[in-house]
Amino acid sequence: MAATSARTLKLLSIFGLGATLTAAELATRLGASVRTVRRDIDTLRDLGYEIEAVRGAGGGYRLGRATRLPPVVFDEDQAVATAVALQTVPTVLSGIRENAARALATLHQAMPARSRLHAEAFTVSSARNYWEFPAPPIDAEIVRAVGSAINRQHLVRVDYTGDGEPATLTLEPHDLVVWAARWYLVAFDPNANRWRAMRVDRFTPHMPTHTPFERRDIPHGDPVAFVMAAHDRGDAAAEWQCRGSAILALPASTVARFAPGGSTVEYDTETTCRLTLGAWSWPGLAGLLLTFDADITDLEPAELRQALRSLRTRISRGLEPVGGQRGGDGPLVSDRAAAPAS
C-alpha cells in the first residue's frame, strides 16, 4: 500500500508539470506497467483530481482544472523550492511578508523531517552587495493589478512617475519581468506608438479598464532581453558615497544590459552613451568604468579623473620588469581626453 501511495503521489507530481503524456510515457517514468498507470489515474480521479484524456495525435493524459480543490501534493524538491520562494518573495514585494511567513510555517509543518532539513538548509537572508543597488520591495497590490490586466489581456491605465513629469498612461501590458530585484512592465504605448520597459514601483494603477487588446510580437522576441537592453527603463542613479559619469564608446542598449544596479544610461549617439553610476570609492568607480572595455571620454567629476590617473600609474608600475626597465608595450593607458582607453 505504501508503494502504491508513493507511486500515485509521484504520478500527481508529473502531471503537475502541465505536460500531456501517454500512458506508455507515464509508465516509463514510474517504472510500472501501463495497466498500473491507468489504475493510479483512476485513484487520482477518485480523490478529486480532474485527469483529462486527450485523444488524437499528441494525445494522452493531463491534469485539468478541478471543479473542487483537492489536496495539494509536493514532492521533496518542489517543497524545498516553494520554501525558498516564500522566504525570498518579501524582498521584492511589500505587504506580503506575514502571509508568506504563515504559508512557510504551514509548509514546514506538513513536510517530512528529511524535507524540512533540506528546506532549512536554504534559509535566506536579504543583503545588498557592493555592486547592486536593488529597489525597495514593491507593493504586492500594484503587481496584482498589473498582472491581472496582463492575464485578462486588458488595457491598463496608470499614473507613472518616470524621469520627467508624472503622466497618466494607457498601456497594452504584455509581461512582467523581475531583474536585479526590480519589477518592470513590458508594454506597448499606443499613444507614443512604441514599446516601453517601465519600473512598476513607479505606477499608481487606476481602476480596471476591461478594454481588450490584441497581443503584439515583443522586440527581441523575449521580454527579459527587451528589458535588459532598454536604456530608458526608468532606473535612477543610487545614492553612493562616490558618483560620476562618462561617455562610453558603446551603444546604450549594450551598456544598459551590463550596467550595475543603481546606474543610469543615457542615449548619446548610435554608438555612444553616457553612463552615470556610483561606488564606495573613486578607484572602485573607475574600475567599474574600465570593465566595459571601451574608450571613455568626458569624465565627471575631477575626483574620478584623478582616480583613473592613479590607476594608470599603478598599472604602468606593475608592468615594469624587474630592474625598472619599461617593457616594449608601454603604458596601457592613454592621456587622450584625460582618461584611459582600455
**Beta bridge mates, 242:** 279
Residue pLDDT, tens place only, 30-78? 889 999 999 988 888 887 788 888 887 767 888 876 544 456 667 667 7
In which band, very low, low, confident or very high, does the pLDDT at 336 lie, cut at 50, 70 and 90? Answer: very low
Helix axes 76-88, 113-120, angle to 10 degrees: 40
As a whole-number percent, the residues of the chain with pLDDT over 70 amount to 79
| Prediction pTM value | 0.59
Confidence band for 171, pLDDT divided at 50, 70 and 90: very high
Quote the mean pLDDT of the chain: 80
Indicate if 158 and 200 belong to the same structural domain.
Answer: yes
H-state helical runs in 52-183:
76-88, 97-110, 113-120, 140-152
* Residue 117 and residue 166 in contact, taking contact as beta carbons nearer than 8 Å: no
Q: How far apart are CA 196 and CA 174, in angstroms?
A: 10
Chain segment 189-203, per-residue pLDDT in tens: 999 999 999 999 899
Average pLDDT over residues 210-218: 94
Which amino acid is present at 88?
A: T
pLDDT score at 330: 43
Contact in structure between 149 and 173 (CB atoms under 8 Å): yes
The answer to whether position 131 is within a domain reads no
278 and 299 inside one domain: yes
Q: How far is CA 72 from CA 17, 26, 255, in A?
A: 13, 20, 45
Are both 55 and 92 inside the same structural domain? no
Give residue for cell 516509463.
28
Q: Give the CATH number of the domain where residue 225 resides.
A: 2.30.30
Residue 65: per-residue pLDDT: 64
Q: Quick check: 334 pLDDT over 60?
A: no
Which of 96-110, 143-157, 250-264 has the lowest average pLDDT? 96-110
Q: Which of 268, 221, 269, 264 is closest to 245 using CA atoms?
A: 264
Number of compact structural domains in the chain: 4
**Final residue of a structural domain among 14, 31, 63:** 63
Domain that holds residue 20: 2-63
Closest CA to 24 of 38, 4, 14: 38
Domain boundary among 195, 229, 263: 229
Domain closes at, from 42, 63, 84:
63
| Residues 51 and 93 reside in one and the same domain | no
